[in-house]
Structure 1
Amino acid sequence: MVGLDAGAAPAPSSCSRGSAASTAGVSVPCSSTALVAGGRSLKILEHHVHKVEMRTKENGEQEEELVVSNLRPFTLKVGVHDASEEPMLDCSLPLRASLLYENGMPVKQTSSSEPLLVGETDVVALQGAATFKLRITSLSSHRDKQRFRIQVAPQDVELHLNEPNLCVVTDPMKSVTKLGRAAGGPLPQPTIPPPSDIPQAPTDGLKRKHRETLEEHAAQLQSLSDTQDHIMQELQGLIALAHQRMAAGDNGSGAAGVGDATSGLRSTRAANEYKLNGS
């Protein structure tokens, strides 16, 4: 449970105090609310902060301190209740969130052009509940290390004056830029995918395609070489036959046979050269 600082100056506002503070989405039930004898009241249902630290008070006691970053939004949910503390589900009430110091005094705008409180500052409570998504732009270190509260009240000033219990403030929060890590917390380790999950470079596909093309050309060249060797063997047989005829005295026929064989050899070489050049 996150309580109020006992040493803090009382807020000069009639708003009720108390919150359900949480970190990492875990809520803590609210401990207090405004008790109204014959009217409506506001109650903090959820208060999600970024971090909870331990701080030492002036009397030496330890207490939890709510911490928010001025770079990230936080959420605050309030509910409208009747005098019996029952939710008023049929209620529709325009509400407004504003920034206060821990002592309840309003925070004044500095030279900075950015508003002190940004986000969904004006929300209508439908069915008795309203959720604010807020971000405090000012830093506690720039405000004499003072902490901040969020006040939620009706947008209608006259209604606020007539029903002062329709107002609630949160527990104090320290506003920082960097939240930091918990003491002794391990550093996050980078996740490295296993070697089988590492994608292959796109050049592998090109290399494989070129290798297949070269293998296909080599097979074609080997086939042409085999064909040429077979033709050469046949030509050698024809030349031998022509020489035999010449030796038998058929000079005309032998010369013609040699001429035909030589012409056939030239034609075969030309055909092979054409195939090689074409591939």
Structure 2
Amino acid sequence: MHGEDLGGLAKFAVVAEEQSFTRAAAKLGISQSALSHAVRRLEEKLGLRLLTRTTRSVAPTEAGEQLLETLRPAFSQIDSKLASLTSLRERPAGTVRISCSAHAARTIIWPAVDRLTVANPDITVEINIDAGFTDIVAGRFDAGVRLGESLDKDMIALRIGPQLRMAAFAAPSYLAGRGIPLTPEELTRHSCINLRLATSGGLYAWEFEQGSRSIRVKVDGHLVLNDMDMVVDAAVAGHGIAFSLEDHVRRQLADGSLVRILDDWCEPFDGYFLYYPSRRQPTAAFQLLLENLRYRP
């Protein structure tokens, strides 16, 4: 295979992943016309249409999907091998890409990345904030972050944070007028602030545990939000009871603007884990990041 063919395959893969010539061209740093020409030459050489183009979108054809399934692991392996060559340098270097939630990024990932990049200026870290369950292989990320209960079995997992707790809470003004629920079931008689999930678009069902008992409650209220900071603000304003990670409201609970309820129904659970494919050869830069993130109680 000639270098031009390999370049065409790489350009096709980016267009297929981005489903847009505009975004792909920006990502590759080339013009849209040059990118379109490269993909067209590849299609002509193969004698197959690889992309379906409309005025609004670009999508792989059946042949394009099959080719993309072959290219993804091949390019991932090439990226991994190229990155591993940086271990031959005197100083660790290279780029590490991580996908994680905003909360994990702020509380766990950023402090470690701050230390790592100050001490190792040749290392670049890209943090991609995503509330969903990102396919890190397809997205060509080096690693992702998830809660321990949702880890894939074929991944290597490293614990990077302590146990977490959820908290149900409301403003004193709300509780003064409506009373304090003593069990999760009583939440159905209260105005609650719902969170719209970014992944599925559904509403988050509140989960409570006490000993061997586990309860999921679908709450109702006059507010549905998709941002946790807004949920907290709405609770402080007295719009009802809300539910989030304890970390989100630690300051408000301390200053009294929010009151915690159902505390005995919020038991600790496994916190964040970094996960990455077992077949991927860690680079020196990635190994350093692992050591900076490893949780040490």
Q: TM range, normalised to the smaller chain?
A: under 0.3
Give TM-score scaled by structure 1 length.
Answer: 0.19
Larger Rg: 1
Higher RCO, Cα 8 Å, sep 6+: 2
- Greater percentage in helix: 2
Bigger strand fraction: 1
